[in-house]
Chain A
Amino acid sequence: METVTAVGSDDPVLIRFDDVSKVYPLPAGDVVALDRVSLTVVRGEFIAIMGPSGSGKTTLLNLIGCLDVPTSGRLVINGRDVADLTDDDLTYLRRDTIGFIFQHFNLIPLLSVMENVEYPLILKCKDRDACGMKPFEVLKAAGLDDERLYTHKPNELSGGQQQRVAIARALVNDPSLLLCDEPTGNLDQKTGKAIMDLLAEMNRAGKTIIMVTHDLGIASYANRQVRIVDGRIMEDTG
Chain B
Amino acid sequence: MSRTFFEFARRNLQRNLFRSLLAVVGIVIGVLAISSMGILGNSLTLSVTEELSTVGDSLSVIPHSGMGSQFGGGMVQDKITERQVQDLRRIVGSNPVIPFYSTADRIQVGTKSGVASIYAMDPDDMPKIVEVEKGIMIRGNSGILAGPRIADQFDLKVGSQIRFENGDTQRVVGILKERGLGFDIQPDYSLIVPSRWYEDRNDEKGYDQVIIKVRDIDEVDTLEKAIDDRFNRREDVLDTFSSKEILSSIQQVFGQISTFTTAIGGISLIVAGISILNVMMMSVTERTKEIGILRSIGTLRSEVRQMFIYEALMLGAVGSVLGGLLSFGGGFLISLLVLQTTQYLFHPASLSAIALGMGFGIATALLSGLYPAWKASNLNPIEALRYE
Contact = CB atoms under 8 A, between A and B. Distances in A.
Contacts of B302: 88
Nearest to A109: B290
Interface stretch (A73-81, A91-99, A195-203): A91-99
Interface string B1-23: 10110001001100100000000
B246 interface: no
B299 interface: yes
A152 interface: no
Nearest to B386: A58
B298 A123 contact: yes
Nearest to B301: A87
Contact of B296 (A92, A94, A127): A94
A94 B385 contact: no
Contacts of A106: 289, 293, 296, 385
A44 interface: no
A46 to B, nearest CB: 21
A170 B297 CA distance: 8
Given A67-B381, A123-B303, A128-B3, A96 B293 contact: no
B294 interface: yes
A169 interface: yes
30 contacts: A67-B296, A67-B382, A68-B381, A68-B382, A87-B301, A88-B300, A88-B301, A88-B302, A91-B299, A94-B296, A94-B297, A95-B297, A95-B299, A100-B297, A106-B293, A107-B293, A108-B290, A108-B293, A110-B8, A110-B15, A111-B8, A120-B297, A120-B298, A123-B1, A123-B298, A123-B299, A126-B1, A127-B1, A128-B4, A169-B297
A231 interface: no
B305 interface: no
A172 B3 CA distance: 20
Interface of B: 1, 3-4, 8, 11-12, 15, 289-290, 293-303, 381-382, 385
A65 B382 CA distance: 10
Interface string A117-132: 0011011101110000
A120 B1 CA distance: 11
Contacts of A102: 385
Contact of A124 (B8, B15, B294, B298): B298
Given A62-B382, A67-B385, A122-B4, A108 B294 contact: yes
Contacts, number: 64
Contacts of B385: 67, 102, 106
B101 to A, nearest CB: 79
Contacts of B294: 108
B16 to A, nearest CB: 11
Nearest to B293: A106
Contacts of B295: 67, 91
B301 A122 contact: no
B11 A110 contact: yes
A92 B382 contact: no
Given A67-B295, A123-B298, 10 more contacts: A87-B301, A91-B298, A106-B296, A108-B290, A110-B8, A110-B15, A120-B298, A128-B4, A169-B297, A170-B297
A100 B302 CA distance: 21
Contacts of A91: 295, 298-301
A108 B287 CA distance: 10
B298 A96 contact: yes
The 4 closest A-B pairs by CB, nearest first: A95-B298, A126-B1, A106-B293, A110-B11
Nearest to A169: B297
B104 to A, nearest CB: 73
Nearest to A100: B296
Interface in A51-92: 62, 65, 67-68, 87-88, 91-92
A111 B290 CA distance: 11
A109 B299 CA distance: 16
Contacts of B382: 62, 67-68
Nearest to A63: B382
